Structures are given as C-alpha cells and as structure tokens.
Amino acid sequence: MAEARKLYIRTYGCQMNVYDSERMAEALGGNGYVEVSSPEEADMILLNTCHIREKAAEKVYSELGRMRELKLARPDLKIGVAGCVAQAEGAEIMRRQPMVDLVVGPQSYHRLPEMEREAGQGAKVLDTDFPEEDKFEKLEARPKAKRGPAAFLTVQEGCDKFCAFCVVPYTRGAEVSRPASRILDEARDLVDRGVREITLLGQNVNAYHGAGPDGDWSLARLIRELARIDGLARIRFTTSHPNDMGDDLIAAHGECDKLMPYLHLPVQSGSDRILKRMNRQHTAEGYLRLVERIRAARPDILLSGDFIVGFPEETEADFQATLDLIEAVGYGSAFSFKYSTRPGTPAAERPQVAEAEKDERLQRLQALITRQQRAAQDGMVGREVGVLFEKPGRMPGQMIGKSDYLHSVVVDGPAPEAGTLSRVRILASHPNSLLGECI
C-alpha cells in the first residue's frame, strides 16, 4: 500500500476560506494526501489566500519567498496558490515566483486533483476561470470522519452589490446560490459526524435564493428547514447586507429557536454622503430603522458590524456621523479597518485621506467599540446562557465553548466534554472571555 502523501494548507482571511480549505483537503484526499500541521513535513503546500486586506498580494509573495528554501531542498515539493489573490493575480504569481507549481481560483478548486496530477508530471498549471459547472456538484462526497461540534457551510458565493471599495465581485464573481437540497444533505452529513452548530456562509449570505422543490428558497426558508434536522442545535449565518434583510428573515430571528441571537450586519459608515460614495445603496437612517425592526423581533439579539475608517474624501463630520451611529446602535462587537486601496475598484482612483488622520480616527472608533463590547460582556454576568463546549482550556478540568451570543465562555471542572450543549451561569467578565459554571 502506497504511503500517504502529506498536505499543508495555510488559510488566510474569512470563514469562507476556512470552508474552502476543508473542501480542498477533502478533494486532494482522493489523490492520497493527508493533512499535516507544518510546511516542513509536507509534500504539497497550498496557500489559500484572501484579497480583502491591505497589500494582500505582497504578503503572499513574501510568504512564498520564505518557502523558497524548502523548495530548493526538496525540488519534488509542490507549491500551490489558491483563493482570491490567485484569482486576481493569475499568471503574475507564476512569473514572479517560478517555484509555484499551480494557481487556482476560488471557483475552480474542484479541479485540484486533476491539477495536482498535471503538476506531478512537471507541468505548470493555472486555472482562474469562472467555470459553468457547479464546483460543489463536482466535489466528491465528504469523508465520514468525526467532526468538531461547530462547522461552516457555504450556501452562497459572489456579490452583485459592487461596493466601491471591494474586490469580491471581481474575485468571487456574481451571486450564486447552492440548491437547497444539497445544502440540507451536507448539513445532515455534518450532524451525523458530530456537528451541533452550523454557520451558513456567503459573501452576501442573506441574498440567498437557492432552488428548492417548490421554487427558489430564501435564507429564512432554508434556516427553517435546517432547524428541522434532529441533532442540529444551533444555526448562525454571516455575512449580511442590510438591503437583503427581508421581513421573513427578521421574523425568523424571533420565531426560530435554533437561530442564535447574534447578527453580523455591516454598515461601513454612518455618513450618508460616504455611504453613497461607497455605493452601499442604503442610508444611515434606514440602517437604524432596520436595527429597530430586528430588535423588535428578537429583543436580546447582539449585533456586530464592520466599519471602514478614512474612506476617500471622508471628513471629520463624516467620521463623527459614524461615531453617532455606533452610539445609537450599541454593538456587542465590531470589526474596523483603515481604508486601503484595491486596484481596479472605483474608490482607488479618488482623493485619499492622510494616513495620520486614518490612524487617529481608527483609534477613536475602536475605543468606542471596545467600551460597548465590554459593556455587553459585563451585562452577561448573572445571566444563564447556552454554551456549546468545543475544546479544553489551558488549566486541567477547564472547557471552553461559545455562548448563544458568540462570547467565549470558560468553565472550570467538573466541565462537560466537547460537543455538549449546557446551561451556564455567567460569574465574571474578562477582556476576551466570560467565566461561568454549569447549572
């Protein structure tokens, strides 16, 4: 029996890349690969890249440069670049780094087994097309290995919104939703292997409109059907666009017990002028009214958001409007970033805000978000919440899990084993976690 070959995947960026990396590993498993934890022991290295953050491509080239010694020492080592940087850079990656054997975009990774075989015969292989076939349909069935208690499940890819700062429509393509039956089958398979919580993923997940047996299903319809699966205890979804937060999805937050009271709803700015320049196609007031409707359906819901600081032509008044919106909403958590240009996007060609101003504004915004986040965590003390335990803590007898509200919760022994969903009383709030006891 041939010895298994070893695969190392380094994943950058969002949860969708985490899901994609899992499927890449499964696809290459059919070619005799097993995953390992370090590049030094691998026969094949894959970098699954993200193009959202600043200088993403240069960071990939830098990482490839560090792997040059591994390739020189072992010429038979195969190195591949996947994901959104692969899609955006294409042949330029191979030109700048000739040691790279294959480059594959995020819509073509179902071809990895074939590409790996070609690379093994000495070819340089590039595939950054947007193929007509459904990659999920072409992927082999997931192996029956035991899984951890929480898993990601991609239901939708691509985006049609064309925000002025974003490369996703160019690297992931137009919005495409997977058929509902395939999602339900994959969810049942995950539950059979020990998964109790599933997070539904999409670049614009609440725009989901997958084919069902009686016409296209909305995300709300899909969630309600997933909730019927025995053994699936929790459902989450990310990332949403305010314009696709319809009445049925708002209602699901109030009516579906398995849909967790946590919603990531990016707004990016509180200034209508900047929102228009961003091509967000909503206003700050519209966003605030939407938040009111969501909280009317689920009063205890915890909201998180995304904010871009220093978007081209942002003034101090524009920035203050963002701070005002944050104060009005009261977020449990948020992600905030300085604007950085993405070649080919409309905003890249506009007058830029000075870096010093971006830095100063980001510090002010993050200080406000930190205060709100701490207040939300402190408000959990004394409450009883559900916690899905996932892994041991650093101290003997400790277990760590996620609450209904996505807070990290630490429980000292006696604590349940991984995969257990328990009621926990919160005893204390720490900067990055809560301390609790099982009831």
Residue ranges of the annotated binding site for [4Fe-4S] cluster are 14, 50, 84, 159, 163, 166
Closest CA to 85 of 105, 112, 69: 105
Ordered strands of the 78-83 beta sheet: 33-35, 5-11, 44-49, 78-83, 102-104, 125-127
CA angle 214, 220, 221 (to 5 degrees): 25
Task: State whether residue 186 is helix, strand or coil.
Answer: helix
| Secondary structure element (H or E) that encloses residue 416, with its range | none
Q: Which 8-state DSSP code applies to residue 335?
A: E
Burial of 157 (0-12, 13-18, 19+ CB in 10 A): buried
Helix-strand-coil split of the chain, %, nearest 5: 40, 25, 40
d(CA 289, CA 7): 49
d(CA 151, CA 198): 5
Task: State whether residue 367 is helix, strand or coil.
Answer: helix
What is the 3-state secondary structure of 313-331? CCCHHHHHHHHHHHHHHCC
d(CA 9, CA 12): 10
| Secondary structure element (H or E) that encloses residue 68, with its range | helix 68-73
Which amino acid does the sequence have at 114? E
Q: How many other β-carbons are positioned within 10 Å of the β-carbon of residue 119?
A: 19
Q: How many other β-carbons are positioned within 10 Å of the β-carbon of residue 357?
A: 17
Tokens matching residue 123 = 């070819």
Q: How many other β-carbons are positioned within 10 Å of the β-carbon of residue 238?
A: 20
- For 225-289, give the DSSP string: HHTTSTT--EEEEE---GGG--HHHHHHHHH-TTB-SEEE---B-S-HHHHHHHT--S-HHHHHH
d(CA 379, CA 212): 41
d(CA 392, CA 411): 10
**Tokens 């239901």 — which residue?**
155
Half-sphere exposure (CA, 13 Å, Cβ side) for 124? Answer: 10
Residues placed in the known binding site? 14, 50, 84, 159, 163, 166
